Structure 1
C-alpha cells in the first residue's frame, strides 16, 4: 500500500471520527460537571505558560465557569497556583507571590496537599530572592511536609535541592552539600535526567564555594552534556558561566573567556538582561585579572548599565568592588578607595559578610600602595579574622600573599617569608596554580633580598616550572575544548508559536461548542453539516496536495540518486588515476636510478681500470702518465656524481628501513644547515607500513617542510608522526610568521597547501591548518593506513 494512499485513508478516518464526535456532542452535550474537561483546560493553560498570558487566563476562566459548586474551591486553588507559576516564568515576582499566597489560602481549608506543596515551594524561592533566607527555609519545610504526605518523590527532591541553595546563601556549605546529595539520590532512582542535571550543577557550585574548582568544573560539564541534548539554553548558558568562573579562579584566562562568550551568546538570544549583565561582569573580572584595564572597564560599564536599569543594588556592589580592584591595578589607590566605600555600604545593607571581607582586603591593598603600611596590615589582619570565621580558605591564601607583599616593601623579610609560606600551603592544599605561582615568586624575591641566592634560585625555578605548567595545561585544555562538539537541537520558535495559537483556537472552538450545545437542535444540525462539509473539503485538499508532494519527492530522490552515483564514480576514477600516477612516477624513478647505478657506474669503472693500465705501462711518457692520472680522477668524480644522482632520483625512503628512518635522515640533513632547529618524534611506528602510504606520507611532509623553509622565516620546526590502528597522524608545526589560512586556501593557484588538501581529501584523509600572524603555523593531517582498503570502500 503506497504512502499517499495510507495518508489519505488516515485523514478520511480522522475526519469521519470528528464528524461522529460532533454529532454525538450535539445529541448529548457537554455538562458543566465534566471534570476531565476542566482538567484539560488547566493542562492547556499550564502548557502554554509564559508564551501567551491572555490565553492562560482565558482557559482558566473557562475551567472555573465549568466547575460545579462542590468543586469550585478546588478549581480556584489549582487556577491560582497555575497563575503564580506563570507569572514567575514571566519574572513578574510580585504577581507570582500574590497568586501563590492566594493558592495557599484557598487550598488550606480543603486540604489540597498538591497545591499546598507546590505553592509553599514557590514562595520559598520568591522570599529567598528578597534576602529572607531563613523564612524561605521555613516555606521549604512546609512544602516537604505536604510532598511527603503525597509520597511525591520528585517534588521532595526538588524541594531538597532548593533547601541546599538556601543553606548555600547562608554560607553553610556542609549543610548545603547534605541536601544536594539527598536530592541527587532521589532523582537518580527516578531517572529524571533534566532535574538531576540541575542538582548536579548546584553541587558544582558547592565545590566552587569551598575552593575545589577542578571538581566544580567536572560537575558543571556533566550538567552541560545533559542540557546540550535538548532545548535548555538558559540552563546551558548558566553552566557555561559557571565553568568560566572556575577556570578564572584557576588562572586559565583564555578558557574562562571562551565559556563566558558562549554564555553571552545564549543569554542575548533569550533576551535575559540580568544574566547578560552578570556575564559582562564576569568578563570584566577576567580582563581585570589579566591587567587589561581598558577591556575590563568596558565590560564593567556594560554590566553596571544593566544593573542600574533594573535597580539591582547587590549586583551594583559587585561591580563597584571589581572597579576598586581594577583601579588598584592601574595604581590609582585613591580612586579605588571610593569604589570600595560604595560597595561596603551596599554589602552592609544586605548583610553580605563574605563580601565585606573582600572589601577589607581591598582597603588593605589600597593603603599598601599609598605606603601606609601599618594601616594596610591592620586591614589585612581584620580580613584574615573574617575569612577564618567564614572558612574562606581560598580567599585567605590571597590575603596572606598581600600581607607578605606589604611586609616585603616594609623590609620585614621574616614576616614576609612566614606569610608567603602560609599562602603557599593553602595554594598547594586546594591545588590553585595561580596562587601557587604568586607565592613562589614572592619567596624567591624575599630570599634574594636576604642575600640567600641559593634558596632564591630554588623558589624561582619552582615558580618557572609552575608557570610553564599553567601555560601548557591551559593550551591543552583549550585545544580539547575547541575540538569538543557541543550539539544542541534548537526548536523552531515560529512553529511552536503557531502550534500554541492553534491549541488556543481549538480550545476556544471546543468551549464555544460546549456552550452552543444548550441552543436549539436545528441550529446545531446546520452547524454540524457545515463543519462536515469543511472537513471533507480539507480531506480532498490534503489528499491531492499529498499526491503532488509525493510526486515531487520521488522525482527529486531519483535525481539525487543519479547525481550521487555520478559523483561517486568520478571520485573513484580520480583516486585510481592519482594512485596510478604516483606508482608510475616511483617506478620510473627506481628504473632510472638503477640504470645510472648499475650500467653507467660499472662502465665508468671499466674505463678507469683501462686508463690505469695504460698509465702503468712503462713505455708511456711521463706527460702521458700525468694525463692518464688526470683522466682517472675525472672518471672517479663522474662515478661519485652518478651515484649521488641515483640516490637523489630514489623516493627518499629506503625499502629496507621504511618511513621513520627516511624522515630522520631528512630532519638531520636540514638541521646540519644551522639555519633552523628541527625536531622529529615518531610514536607507535615500529612496523614498516605499506610502501604506497609511506611514499605518500613522505611526499606530503617533504612539501610541508619545503613550504616552511621557503616562506615561514621560522627558527623552530617540529615534525610528529603517530601511527594508530587505522590512520597515520602527521603534525608539522613551526614558529614562523604565519598567514591567513582561509584566504590562502581559497585564492592559491597551482601547487601548495590547496593542492595538498585536495590530494589528502582524494585519499579519504583529513587536512587542517591553524595559522595566525606572527604566531606560527600548525598543519594536522590524518591519512588512512591502507590506501588500497580506502579505495575499495569508494
Structure 2
C-alpha cells in the first residue's frame, strides 16, 4: 500500500496590497472592490467558499469597468484559493492570466508573487521542471525589486520541491536561507512555515518524535490565528506518522478528524490523500470492504481533479486489495489503469507491469507465444548486432578519415588565425608608436610655447621693474627735490593762490609717480596685504577717471595668504582688465570680485560699457592676459553684448588648496 507523504504548505502571502489602485475607477466601483477584497481576506483560511464568491464578483466588476490591475488581483485571489483547495489546473491558468495582465501593464510589482503561485500549481501537479523554472523567475523578480519577503517565500517553496524529490540536503540549504530572511524581516508566520518544512524532512528521514515536536509547535501557533488550512496540513502529517508507526487505530481517529476539517474547507486533493490513508489503515485492521470504499472515494476525487500522480497509487492500492480477495480480473483492470496513469504522468513505458500480469493470469498457450516471440526477438537482435558490427567498422574508418581531415583543417585555421593576430599586433604597435611620437611632438611644442610666454612675461616684469626704479629714483627724486626747493622758496614769499595750486600740483605729481612706481613693481604682497593694495589701486583709478569701480574680496585673509607669484599674476590680470575698461569700454560703472574657493581662485570683472565683438581680433592687452593665464593653467570666459556690457570670468587653480 502507498502512503502519500504530505509536504505541501502554501506560503499564503497575498500581493493584494502591492498593486496600485486602478486608474479611472469611480468611487462607487472602488468601494465595492475594496469591500469584496476585505471579504476575501477575512474568509480565505476559514470559509473558502465565501472567499471564492467574493473573488469571482470582484473579477466580474473589474472586467466590466475595464480595470486591468484589479483583474490581475482578482485572478491571483482565485488562483490562491484553487491552489489551497487542490484545483491545481485552474491555479496554473489563473496565475498565468495574472502574469499576462501585469506584463501588459508593464508592472513588475506583483510578478514575483504571481510566479510563486504558478510554481506551486506546477509542483502540486507533479511538473517539477516547470515548478523550479517558475520559482527561479519569482526569485529573480524579488531580487530585482529587493523584496526580501518574496525571496524568503521563493527559497521556502524551492525547499519543499527538493523535499518531494528527496534531496534533503538542498532542501535544508534553501530553508536556512528562508529562515535567515524571515528573521531579518521579523516575519513570525514565515519562521513557523519554515519550521513546518523542517518537520517534513525529519518525518521523511524517519525521525518521528523530533518531527512530532516541530509539528505540535506549529500547530499551537496556527490554532491561535485560526488558520484552518495549515491546521489541516499538520494533522495530515501527524496522522501519516501514526500510519508509518503501524498505530493504525490511532491513525484512523486522527484521519477522520482531519477529513472533517478538509470537507469544511473543500480541499479535495487533500481529501483524496486522507481517504487513501484511511483505506490503508482499514486494510491493515482487516476491514477490507471499508478499505476498498475509502480507496474508491479517493479515486473519484483524483479522477475529478486530474491528480495523475495520486491516481496511479490509488489504482495500485485497489488492484492489490482485489488481488488479495482473488478477484484477478478487477486486479488486472486496476493495474492497467495504474500503468496508463503513470504513462500519462511522466511518459515512461510501464508495459512490463501488464506483461507480468498477463504471464500470471493468462493461459499456457499465451505464455508459449510470449516465449516464442522472445526467441524470435533474440534471433533478430543477433542479426541486428551482426549488421551493426559491420556498420560500426565502416563508420570507424569513415570517422578516422573525417577526423584526420578536420584535424588538418583546424590546424590550418589556427595557424592562419595566429598569423592574422600577429599582423594585427604589429599594426597596432606601429600605430601606437606614431601616436606616442605625435604626443611627444605636441608636448614639446606646448613646452616651447610656455617657455616663450614665460620669458616674455619675465621680460615684461623685468622691464616694469626697471621703469619703476627709474621713475622712483629718477623722476620721483627730481620731483622730491623740486618740492623741497619750492617749499623753501615760498617760505619768504607772501602767500598767493597760485603758489598754493603749484604746491598742490607738485604733491599730486609726487603721489602719482609713487603710485605708478608701485603699480609697475609692487612690493611683496605678503608685507603690504594684497587685498588692501588692490583696493587702493581701484580707488585711485576711480578717483582719476569717470569710472566708478567697486571691489569685493572674500575671504580677504585667505586671499592675502596665497603665493606671491600667483598674486602678482592676479594683480597684472586685474590691472590689464581695468585699463582696458578705462580705454575702450566707455563704461561708467565696473565691479571686481575675487573669491577664493577650495580648489581655485575666481576673478569676476563686470562693466556696463559698449562691449565688443567676439569675432574681433584680440588686442595686445587681452593677449597678454591669456598668455599669463596659460602660464599658470588659468581659464578665461568672456560674455559681451552691446546692451549689457562685458563680463569676464577667470579661474586660476590652486596648487595647495586649503
With the length of structure 1 as denominator, give the TM-score of the two structures: 0.40
Larger Rg: 2
